[in-house]
Amino acid sequence: MEVYPSSVGSGSGTTRTAWPPEQKSGALLEQSKSASPWADSEGAENDLLDVSCGTEPVRIPTTGLSASHLASLSRFDRYITDSVLPDGTPISLARPPSGLQDDEDSDRDEMVLLVNAWVTLVSSRSRRSGTKADRDLGNFYSDTLEAPGGLLEQLLNLDALPERWPLVECSPDCLCARTCGNRLTQGGVRVPLTIRPVPQAGLCLFYSPSTSCDLPRGSFVSLYAGEYLTTSQARSRWSSAVKAEEGEGNYILTLREPGLVLHIDPRRYGNIGRFMNHSCDPNCVIQVVRWGAGSWPRAAIFRSIAPDEELTFDYGNASGSGRSIADGQKGSKGSEVADDVAGERRTSCFCGSERCRGWMPFDETL
């Protein structure tokens, strides 16, 4: 059963901004420029001063965009800071994601129970005693540290985080202060980034500090935000894009957990996560993070890299959710299926890594 056609997502606290932003002039851009500690580029003819239109804590400029790059962004309608439900979805992000499942997902009740259990545990204990989510599920974020640009930042302790462990952040439902240390990924992008072209893979996301400084392992980069889709919706969007020969690749990220398959499509509504390319030897990982009443899984990107380096993650491996995004890794069962089924839909991978598997991961459900 198809649960819904498309509406404005009901994510609380989500900021939506018309895109593309006005370029080079206008109050918003001037404001975002002066608010940024990393004003490093006046931009070329087609460059944007801030793709987030001032909605992220830091400005995210582009460099080296050609007119055709700009044109290729025409389907990117809105910059959002958190994932949303498609327009017209008759369920709310304030409820667990059970309503987004296709009927064929037979294990969904298990997941609903699991998610409900987390939400109940976290919110009831928080309300009752004022304790925080981290008391119940562990807080794997460090205390606040000095970070690039002189800002204060926290790190995710990736080494201590058990595999498949649910990261649950505090939220307005908790009694703790808004400044509590367990809300890292809700605060938006705070590291210096630029969007620029890269050979054979379109645009990409670069870590671009104004002075040479490493981004420590465990730094939060960004969410991979977009529209939450059921498998049948994701399949339908993918086949329409193929039919329309949009030629812009597949942006749909698949999150898999026991009893739950969710897809995130940032093509029309998205954030800077949509610009991150795949690498078979990546320097970032995806970690599923939840917060708020509905506890919907967010795909959060963390990592450690050298300065001025392209940020990548493996589209075929979302750590923390167990398996995940797209599959298609050579040698894995999922990949054999994907390779057989996808046929000519497979895309050559140009990550350039010595460990390159040759093909982009592709989710067999699409």
> Contact positions toward ligand SAM, by CB under 6 A?
200-204, 249-251, 274-279, 347, 349-351, 360
Taking the least distance from each CB to ligand SAM, the nearer of 133 and 241 is 241
Assigned token pair, 356: 């390159």
Nearest CA to 127 out of 95, 83, 168, 172 is that of 172
Residue 72 vs 142, nearer CB to ligand SAM: 72
Residue 251 or 302: which CB sits closer to ligand SAM?
251
CB of residue 52 to ligand SAM, shortest distance in Å = 15
Least Cβ distance, residue 273 to ligand SAM (angstroms): 8
Q: For residue 47, give every residue at least 6 positions away whose Cβ sits within 8 Å of its Cβ, in sequence order, or none.
A: 23, 41, 61, 62, 63, 64, 65
Q: Label residue 362 exposed, middle or buried (CB < 10 Å: 0-12, 13-18, 19+).
A: buried
Cβ nearer to ligand SAM, comparing 141 with 313: 313
Residue number, 154 or 321, with CB nearest to ligand SAM = 321
Minimum CB distance to ligand SAM, residue 341 (Å): 17
Min dist. Cβ of residue 315 to ligand SAM (A) = 7
Q: What's the CA gap between 303 and 326, in Å, rounded? A: 19
End-to-end C-alpha distance for the chain, whole angstroms: 17
Question: Measured from the CB of residue 319, what is the shortest distance to ligand SAM in angstroms?
Answer: 18
Which lies closer to ligand SAM via its Cβ, residue 232 or residue 347? Answer: 347
Question: Rounded CA gap, 221 and 285, in Å?
Answer: 10
Q: Which C-beta is closer to ligand SAM: that of 202 or that of 258?
A: 202
Least distance CB 277 / ligand SAM (angstroms)? 3
Euclidean distance between CA atoms 89 and 228, whole angstroms: 10
Give the CB-nearest residue to ligand SAM. 249
| Nearest-angstrom CA–CA distance, 335 and 328 | 3
Give the angle subtended at the CA of 75 by the CAs of 74 and 77, to the nearest 5°: 95
For ligand SAM, the closer of residues 171 and 324 by Cβ is 324
Residue given tokens 């958190």 in the structure block: 82
Smallest gap from residue 67 Cβ to ligand SAM (A): 15
> At closest approach, how far in Å is the CB of 135 from ligand SAM?
36
* CA distance readout (Å), 234 to 101, 231, 265: 12, 5, 8
Q: Which is nearer to ligand SAM, 200 or 240 (CB)?
A: 200
Residue written as token pair 């944007």 = 48
- What would the two tokens of residue 71 be? 């044109």
**Pair 152, 57: CB distance under 8 Å:** no
C-alpha distance from residue 121 to each of 113, 125, 126, 164 (Å): 12, 6, 8, 18
Beta bridge partners of 278: 313
CB of 350 to ligand SAM, least distance (A): 4
Q: Return the C-alpha torsion angle 128, 131, 136, 141, nearest 10.
A: 150
Between CA 50 and CA 32 the distance in angstroms is 7
